[in-house]
A = this chain, B = another copy of it.
Amino acid sequence: MGKAYDVMAATCPSRTVLHRIGARWTVFVVLALGDGPRRFTQLKTRIEGITPKVLTETLRALEADGLVRRTSLPGNPPGVEYALTDLGRSLGGPMRAVSEWAESHVPEILAARARYADAEA
C-alpha cells in the first residue's frame, strides 16, 4: 500500500502544509521557540529584521495550524507568551536540520554563485 499523502500529487493537502512550512519566517519562529516559551518582544529581538506585522501574521498562522499555542498572561503590563505545541516541537528537528545545513554550506554556495556569475559574464 502506498502512503496516504504524497507531496508530488498536485492536489494533495500535504502541499498546503509544505507551503506553510516554507513561508519566509516560519523557520525562524519555530527555531526561536525551540528553547521554550517566549514573549512577543523576545521573539522580535531574537529574529533580527522581522517586523511586528510579519511576526504577528506568522504567529497567527502557526497557531491556526496547531503548531504554536498563545497564552495571555494576566496582569499589567499585559504579557503574552508563545510556545510550541507537541506538534510544533516535532517540526523542530527538520527545521533545525535545514537551518544548520544553510549555516554550514554558505562558503560552497557563495563560491558557486560567484563561479556562475563569472561564467555567464
List the interface of chain A (C-beta within 8 A of B).
3-10, 13-15, 17-24, 27-28, 31-32, 46-49, 63-67, 87, 90-91, 93-95, 97-99, 101-106, 108-113, 115-117
Contacts and interface: CB of A to CB of B under 8 A. Distances in A.
Contacts of A94: 94, 97-98, 101
Contact of A110 (B13, B91, B103): B13
A1 to B, nearest CB: 14
Give chain A's interface secondary structure class. helix
Given A66-B112, A90-B101, A18 B27 contact: yes
Contacts of A108: 66, 87
A70 to B, nearest CB: 11
